[in-house]
Amino acid sequence: MELTGKQRAQLRALANGIEPVVHIGKDGIGDNLVRQADDALEARELIKCRVLENCELSAREACDELSRRTRSEPVQVIGTKFVLYRETHRKDKKDKIVLVRSGKKA
């Protein structure tokens, strides 16, 4: 799913109030970290990640790789943090994010 500018703006606003749940350190992005991010995206749809000082990847590089490996959409990269979004298809999810589509709420 390719996000529109309005959808990115909506997700950026929602991300302001959340803390990073995935921390990328010197080991970079391995299978365990990808599973952690997958689990977080399934539970929350929108997650913030942080690249620690001892990581050799930039936040942009980490965002691109993790979004590719989790099949999520990059929303924003600022400094050492970045935000990813992936719509969940779980039927029991009560706090699902509803994105604006074509000027209307979906």
- pLDDT score recorded for residue 99: 79
- pLDDT score recorded for residue 2: 86
> Tell me: the pLDDT tens digits for 63-76?
999 999 999 999 99
Categorize the per-residue pLDDT at 106 as very low, low, confident or very high, splitting at 50, 70 and 90: very low
- pLDDT score recorded for residue 89: 74
CA–CA separation, 76 vs 5, rounded Å? Answer: 11
| Structural domains in the chain, sorted by start | 5-105 (3.30.110.60)
- pLDDT score recorded for residue 97: 79
SS3 97: coil
pTM of the predicted model, to two decimals?
0.87
